[in-house]
């Protein structure tokens, strides 16, 4: 089941380095010039974004807890099983 992403959605945190450091989207943008290209949605509603270079780092942090993902820009969440098929 795909879920529509609300217009006011803001990712919870964004990965900014190879160590998996996650910061607010505002800090990622202004201090690191990083924008999330993929966003994972966890089973508790929390989300984690990452640029393509850190995508697998983000995925591996809560591999068992992700329920959906989206690639930006997008209007729907896609079930995580569709992501897992391609890794």
Q: Is the pLDDT of residue 1 over 60?
A: no
Which residue range forms the structural domain that includes residue 14?
Answer: 3-84
| Structural domain count of the chain | 1
Number of C-beta neighbours around residue 83 at 10 A: 18
pLDDT of residue 51: 97
Q: Is the model's pTM score more than 0.85?
A: yes
Does residue 2 have a pLDDT over 70?
no
| Structure-model confidence comparison of residues 2 and 7, the more confident one | 7
Beta-strand (E) ranges in 1-87? 3-4, 13-15, 22-23, 38-42, 47-50, 66-71, 76-79
Per-residue pLDDT reduced to its tens digit, 19-74: 999 999 999 999 999 999 999 999 999 999 999 999 999 999 999 999 999 998 87
């Amino acid at each position: 089941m795909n879920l529509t992403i609300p217009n006011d959605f803001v990712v919870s945190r964004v990965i900014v380095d190879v160590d998996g450091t996650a910061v607010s989207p505002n800090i990622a943008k202004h201090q690191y010039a990083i924008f999330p290209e993929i966003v994972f949605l966890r089973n508790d509603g929390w989300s984690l974004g990452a640029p393509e270079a850190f995508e697998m780092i983000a995925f591996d942090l809560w591999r068992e807890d992700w329920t959906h993902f989206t690639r930006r820009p997008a209007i729907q969440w896609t079930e995580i099983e569709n992501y897992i098929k391609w890794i």
